[in-house]
Structure 1
């Protein structure tokens, strides 16, 4: 997908409508069109970045700082029972727009959203397998 075909790039450029809650030189935050629970906000970088793997750490930090500020504003406005913050990459994670974005989503008890673990999951994993996984990830972290 090119930047020209990206709905979030169109919102950033001002050629597609959005209800903006915040903007600066790095990011834009706007109310999601789909409000399963009132207050769902999306945060996007102004530059087209397809997913978290292509996101630089400075922009990532800026997006997260903004997410915290928006979460606090939502808490003050609507006093939700909780809040979910999520970011998805690729079809398997149900990323719908290939422009990295954070969802800041107020939650209400019984809202039915984000049933993360289907019934019966997750199954506990042996400590040795967890340690091997941690070691592999740590090694890859030191390589980057």
Structure 2
């Protein structure tokens, strides 16, 4: 499948659509999921144009997973999480809803999560969760 540069994550990366950012560098962006499956649900995306994990350059995949780990540590600290679900849905058949490779970090038990991409979250609460994660990131850097 070829990359569609009009997907919502590509638009977020270009600043055409707002997001509640947690972390950004020249290769990766982490931001809050606006349809969270649990409080603190964060998405980590590479800036490289890739639809699925299998399309992502191995060096970009390796770098992205390092940032996934960094954000997971901050989420764990910010929410005193006892577990974090890491999800990467690769392809529509696997449940991928945005055609840009991305990683879900969800501080929760797999048995307590809300349904994927089912309901818009409270944007004020999501913003507050982002601030907690950013504060925790500052402490672990």
Q: TM range, normalised to the smaller chain? A: 0.7 to 0.9
Q: Quick check: 2:85–2:109 contact (8 Å CA) kept in 1?
A: no
Q: 1:90 to 1:109 in 2, by over 3 A?
A: closer
Q: Quick check: 2:30–2:45 contact (8 Å CA) kept in 1?
A: yes
Aligned residues: 113
Q: Deviations over 1:109-137 (max 9, x none)?
A: 851458xxxxxxxxxxxxxxxxxxxxxxx
1:72, distance to aligned residue in structure 2 (A): 0.6
Partner of 1:2: 4
1:90, distance to aligned residue in structure 2 (A): 1.3
Structure 1 length as normaliser, TM-score?
Answer: 0.73
Partner of 2:122: none
Correspondences of 1:1-144 after superposition (within 5 Å): 2-3=4-5, 5-108=6-109, 110-112=111-113
Greater RCO (CA < 8 Å, at least 6 residues apart):
2
Structure 2 length as normaliser, TM-score?
Answer: 0.74
1:47, distance to aligned residue in structure 2 (A): 2.4
Larger Rg: 1
